[in-house]
Structure 1
């Protein structure tokens, strides 16, 4: 077996269904990659820049990767991507890595503003507090209905996985995620002027990625609509109306 060129992972899977990597997993990967001299690359494009309540999500594991990939949020609505890497990996000669559309001045300025704002401890603390409140509300909703299998995430990157309690369980005794029920919830949310994204296996996870400066009133408005819709769909499932 040839030595791997690198190990690349997301500290929190985004499109994969908002799945935070366990701290022990990240720490073990970091230890093994160091021992074998294999670069560890973390993809922070979706979970980074304050989204998780830390500037970078890998900080929860108290590790330092060799390469960090970030984009989207870092530009403050402007097109910007950044690759941060260990000096020992810098093999490019000065000026040899260039491109026609790089160095956009507006995007660079936007990135500076974002970094200065998001890196403030009070800002990140607020993101964590808003995320904790959302999680507590969603967990209370989970207790009221039968179609929510899991609530997970960090900061303002939350995922709600939907299941069909009328379906058969898998070999581990768990219900599989239901993309149909998630799609129904998504449709009714949209009809109530709330846009939600799906992800995860079978498209069963409803993903909530609010703006980091979302207000408490906006969170309340969002949760009120979401709770109403989920309770309505849960009732449809219990009455056997769903899917007809």
Structure 2
């Protein structure tokens, strides 16, 4: 895509609002693709809980005249100070390495559990951005051998997690993917607790699905 957009003179815009600022284990997620986009959209994490969004673009695209880019919420000093602290900390290699390590803890535990239950489909992850797909184990597999995604099963797992004081968000096709987006400074003990609750919930729903069929 980067090659084609360059050849055609089309600006490549990358949305890093959720996956950027260390979430993927690199400062920007697009670094995994070894590309340099023309425009980068950044928000949420960069403000360190303060309202802040940034558009980073190549100087060749700068059409603003001096003083033209103004507005009520431009340059919030507190957000700028918080953003500076966030960037200084998150950009450190040791911090990013820890994000990768923590994400691997979750991925390995879920992959091990996948071998023991019937309701987990695909597991996708980059750093502390993970998606765990739930499937209908009695559904018809597609030509690739993948079982159909099940939002119903995912909702049951989500409810069981909530009952045990763990909030999990759903997304993906048919709401079948449980999204795991821990705070980047989450401790390994907290990850362990989260995984214990999630595994217990998944095993219970898996047993219920098998019992009702």
TM-score with structure 1 setting the length: 0.85
Q: CA deviation at 1:113?
A: 0.6
**Cα displacement string for residues 93-130 of structure 1 (whole angstroms, at most 9, x for unaligned residues):** 01111111221111111100100010000000000011
Alignment of 1:30-179 (within 5 A): 30-170=2-142, 172-179=144-151
User: What is the alpha-carbon distance in structure 2 between the residues aligned to residue 228 and residue 213 of structure 1?
Assistant: 24
Hey, what does 1:235 align to over in structure 2? 207
**Cα displacement string for residues 51-93 of structure 1 (whole angstroms, at most 9, x for unaligned residues):** 0000000001111000000100000000000000000000010
What SS class does the counterpart of residue 110 from structure 1 fall into?
helix
User: What is the alpha-carbon distance in structure 1 between the residues aligned to residue 144 and residue 127 of structure 2?
Assistant: 29
User: What is the alpha-carbon distance in structure 1 between the residues aligned to residue 86 and residue 139 of structure 2?
Assistant: 46
User: What is the alpha-carbon distance in structure 1 between the residues aligned to residue 193 and residue 133 of structure 2?
Assistant: 21
Q: Unpaired segments of 5 or more residues in structure 2? A: none
User: What is the alpha-carbon distance in structure 2 between the residues aligned to residue 88 and residue 240 of structure 1?
Assistant: 62
Q: CA deviation at 1:171?
A: 5.1
**Cα displacement string for residues 22-69 of structure 1 (whole angstroms, at most 9, x for unaligned residues):** xxxxxxx11111111110000000100000000000001111000000
Q: Higher relative CO (CA 8 A, sep ≥ 6), structure 1 or 2?
A: 1
- Choose from 176, 182, 187 the match for 2:154: 182
Hey, what does 2:198 align to over in structure 1? 226
What SS class does the counterpart of residue 194 from structure 1 fall into?
coil
- Choose from 150, 165, 177 the match for 1:205: 177
User: What is the alpha-carbon distance in structure 2 between the residues aligned to residue 96 and residue 58 of structure 1?
Assistant: 30
Q: Unpaired segments of 5 or more residues in structure 1? A: 1-28
